[in-house]
Amino acid sequence: MTFADMLKKLQDADLATKPSGADQEWGQLAAYYDDQSRLQTAKALEDLGMGLAANQLPIDIGPLLRQVVDRAATVYRRPPSRFLLRDGERLAEDSTEHQSFLGILEDAQYDVAWRRIDRRRTLLGQDIVRLYPSDQRRSVVLRSFGPQQVLRMPDPANGDLM
């Protein structure tokens, strides 16, 4: 099987598991939330015959959408408490291991990344997270992808396995 055949099979499986037009809708929502929708807004206003001609800064729903999503995303409003276990026993928070663990999370900007991931999950209903090693940071980096940015082939027996 060639790469093109495998890619086509993956695209077909992905298309079969997503609602019709979902990629476009998710992409548009992400553009509004990320304040990258000026051209979409200008085109929509032009199509409706509304707005001022040649207005460089049309009224946009992005800031309002961002405010609503940020209020609704509550999981990572405050960083969670974390602790380590060894043989079922909780390690002291002033232990070397616990302090190293917190340092690793800080280097990875873990809480900042999860706050962003929670907001995108609230906006789009889901978010795909992948951890990448970063030699520059000497840590891992959490990368977040919207559902419109990935192709999926779920396991028929276990839908959560891709």
Residue 36: pLDDT above 90?
Answer: no
Per residue in 135-156, pLDDT (tens digit) is: 988 888 999 999 999 998 888 8
> Is the pLDDT reported for residue 57 higher than 80?
no
pTM of full prediction above 0.85:
no
Cα 162 from Cα 158, distance rounded (Å) = 9
- Percentage of the chain exceeding pLDDT 90: 48
Q: In this structure, are residues 91 and 85 in contact, taking their beta carbons and an 8 Å threshold? A: yes
Q: What is the mean pLDDT of the chain?
A: 87
Specify the pLDDT at position 24: 93
The sign of the CA dihedral 23, 29, 30, 31 is positive
pLDDT digits (tens, 9 = 90+) for 98-132: 999 888 888 888 888 999 999 999 999 999 999 99
Phi, psi of 13 (to 5 degrees): -65, -40
Measured from the Cβ of residue 95, the count of other Cβ atoms closer than 10 Å reads 14
